[in-house]
Amino acid sequence: MCTGIRFTDKNGAMYFGRNLDWTQGYGEKVVVTPSAAKVPTAFERPEDPADGHTVMGMGIIVAGIPLYFDCGNDAGLAVAGLNFPQSAHYAASPIDGTTNVAAYEFPYWVARNFSSLDELREALAHTTVVAKPVNEQLPVANLHWLIGDATGSLVVECMADGLHVWEDDVDALTNEPDFGWHRQNLRNYLMMDEGMPAPATWDRAELKPFGSGGGVQGMPGDYGGPARLVRAAYVNAHYPVQDGEKANVTRLFRTLGASAVPVGVAKMANGDYEKTLYTSCFSAASMTYYHATYDDPTIHAYPLSACDLSGTAPFIATAA
């Protein structure tokens, strides 16, 4: 399970973040990949620029390859992979005449090579995502992706009938089912309102609300993907626009907190409990990556300006 959101501040700068929910971590750290990094690719792609964008986010490094769970770049474009276990369907092999990208490298390919959603939309029209693992120890993960910049969000889903690019006008994503289903499901909650419920008269009885918050009665409270998307989309849409870095980072962590998963409420078939392993935030305003973990709720900051970007390999960043 995972939840991702995106929004902009008073000045139009993007903040992008996610909860990563799972039963165990993978030794993930904040990874920075300089623009001049020489990263092996799964397939020949002569169209990739020699030097791409600098990328930072959460992930692991395998044989010199940054495997990002989520990341942002120095142009203010960000991407996160969220679990999509039942519906994800990648191409079995590369397809001639298209840009072939292995699923494991998709986030880095997006963040390295593109500056905006407009550029990415054009490229995705002739892109094939291939089910090629990075090695035998790490199988292909079934994911879909939330991608955002200052102008909006996209959801990219590879399914049995092809690659779908959705315009995500609610700036939120969770897991199954596909985003088109989630977008329609939101229509079941049109009556929710952040305002104080109005008093009512039933026969001779004058009924008054207990207090604020009653207008969202009916909001689903479980931890499944549909419920978490409703909560994330609603809170994200109704949180007042903020000014300043601290207020916007607070907004992101508080919004994702509405969908965070504690131990004990989401048991897998094998008996293990899922939990929100970490929450992250990429600020395009300050080019800073923030994160907090389940066991350490302190928010740690990783400013890109504090990193030595002169190298040619991905590296583990140190918190400020």
The tens digit of pLDDT for each residue in 52-72 reads: 999 999 999 999 999 999 999
Per residue in 80-137, pLDDT tens?
Answer: 999 999 999 999 999 999 999 999 999 999 999 999 999 999 999 999 999 999 999 9
Query: Binning pLDDT at 50, 70 and 90, where does residue 320 land?
Result: confident
- Predicted pLDDT at 232: 98
Q: Which helix (H) or strand (E) holds 99?
A: strand 99-102
% of the chain residues with pLDDT over 90: 95
- Predicted pLDDT at 1: 83
Q: If you count DSSP H runs as helices and E runs as strands, how many of each does the chain have, helices first?
A: 5, 18
Residue 134 and residue 151: Cα distance in Å, rounded? Answer: 32
- Predicted pLDDT at 313: 96
Task: Please give the residue range of the domain that contains residue 258.
Answer: 2-316
51 has pLDDT over 90: no
Residue 147 and residue 152: Cα distance in Å, rounded? Answer: 9
CATH classification at residue 310:
3.60.60.10
- Predicted pLDDT at 50: 85
223 has pLDDT over 90: yes
- Predicted pLDDT at 259: 97
- Predicted pLDDT at 227: 97
Q: How many beta carbons lie within 10 A of that of residue 58, not counting itself?
A: 23
- Predicted pLDDT at 215: 86
Q: Which residue has the tokens 């849409």?
A: 237
Q: Which residue has the tokens 């942002």?
A: 72
CB 288 within 8 A of CB 4: no
Query: Binning pLDDT at 50, 70 and 90, where does residue 214 land?
Result: confident
Number of domains composing the chain: 1
Single pTM value for the model: 0.95
CB 54 within 8 A of CB 72: no
Catalytic residues, by residue number, are 2
User: Using N-to-C axis directions, what is the helix angle for 225-238 and 245-257, rounded to 10°?
Assistant: 150
